[in-house]
Amino acid sequence: MADKAFITPNVLKWARESAKMSEEIAAAKVSVSVDKLQEWENGASQPTIKQAQTLAKAYKRPFALFFLPEIPRDFQPLQDFRKSGSKSLTTSSIFIIREIQQKQAWISDAYADNDEIKLPFVGRFTINDNPQTVAQDILKTLDIHPTHYKSENPIREWIDAAETKGIFVSRTSFIHSRLKLDSEELQGFAISDPFAPFVFVNSDDWNAPQLFTLLHEIAHIWISETGISNDIEPEIKNKDKFHPVELFCNEVAANALMPKDIVLNFGTQIYQNSKEAFKAARLLGVSSFALIVRALNLGLISIPIYQKLKKQADIDFAEYLKREAEKKAKQKEKENPGGPNYFLLQLNRNSRLFTQTVLDAFRGGSIEPTLASNLLNVQINKFQKLEAQLFR
């Protein structure tokens, strides 16, 4: 007979509930009935060690946690800045938020213990400041000019610039193959901290909306507002559904990615044709929708022209996405017929800066191998393959 795991029942129940997992799904993970799971959670019986280990993995919790005498103090939920009426966060969102909180807590404590200097730009402004002033400070601090990108992938340049200044940037669209992140539920979040600010971007979106999300979350760091976001790209209606912090950060992002002087210099002629507006948007790394909203807000176009452009832009963008998907599929098949590179995906999920910091600490002997592996989501004997992606 298999050995029983004499877990603490209410801790087991708390672990499931905090993972936003239903009794039916949890029971299916260990191939038992809901009644049997309920027995374990009320103490009427105990799971086997193997069953408890399977649940620990499913709930993204250490196995040893189930044996604590009482429910542990968990990470506090991030403030919800999402649009009113947004659907409740599901398991995948809860897991990625908790994962980034754990990474951020570790690196912040490590930096504080080493007497690292606090980052001067964290909380430099408040929501009462001028969004244009905040945007200009971001551009100056990160040393980026929106029309002087060195490649056709501006988001990569923004991430590199942010991490060079000490902002950790994580991007992923999944927890694992069967647990994906929904961009309508969660587009991004920011954890403001004077030592180790963290920004997360849901990569379920294409690069243009991802870039706007990145700048939106960076704006959260500049005003020291920790929280989660969705429906980030500019809106011209239903503004009453948005939190004031979100409206402010959207304004900052728009001013940083599409500075007023640059957009005005485009003139009004580019808005006579949706394809010309699309080309201008690509130059700035933003979506054509973001650009025409910006043009409307700056008084360059009227609402009827905006509506006409938006309708055509939606059609053009759908066609563009189709072409890009086909192009990427062919390119991936040519370069990597086995699918996406696991280590590159983990590198982006961890943040390049965070990965290098943990690997340096591991090699310097200041962090235990098991902790390093847990922080990076990679087995110790695979660290070399992970590190190889840093230099590509």
Location of structure tokens 């982006």: 348
CB-CB contact of 21 with 91 (8 Å)? yes
Look at residue 349 in the predicted model and tell me its pLDDT. Answer: 95
- Strands 198-202 and 188-191, by their bridges, are antiparallel
Domain boundaries, the chain: 9-66, 91-257, 342-391
Task: Profile the chain (392 residues) by mean pLDDT over runs of 10 residues.
Answer: 85 93 95 96 94 93 86 84 87 92 93 92 97 98 92 92 97 85 91 97 86 96 96 70 92 96 90 84 89 91 88 77 72 59 92 96 91 91 93 76
Helices H / strands E in the chain, number of each: 17, 6
Look at residue 275 in the predicted model and tell me its pLDDT. Answer: 81
Look at residue 190 in the predicted model and tell me its pLDDT. Answer: 98
Tokens linked to 61: 């919790």
| Helices 352-363 and 91-113, packing angle to 10 deg | 50
What does the DSSP assignment read for 24-91? HHHHHHTT--HHHHHHHHHTSS--BHHHHHHHHHHHT--GGGGGSSSPPPPPPPPPB-SPTTPPPP-H
**What is the 8-class DSSP label of residue 117?**
P
CB-CB contact of 202 with 190 (8 Å)? no
Give me the CATH code for the 9-66 domain, please: 1.10.260.40
**Comparing C-alpha atoms, which of 186, 155, 181 is closest to residue 80?**
186
Look at residue 236 in the predicted model and tell me its pLDDT. Answer: 61
Look at residue 35 in the predicted model and tell me its pLDDT. Answer: 96
Strand order in the sheet with 188-191: 168-172, 198-202, 188-191, 227-229
**Comparing C-alpha atoms, which of 296, 258, 302 is closest to residue 280?**
258
- Alpha carbon distances (Å) from 213 to 130, 174, 318: 20, 17, 20
Look at residue 291 in the predicted model and tell me its pLDDT. Answer: 92
| pTM score, whole prediction | 0.86
| CB-count exposure of residue 184 (10 Å: 0-12, 13-18, 19+) | exposed
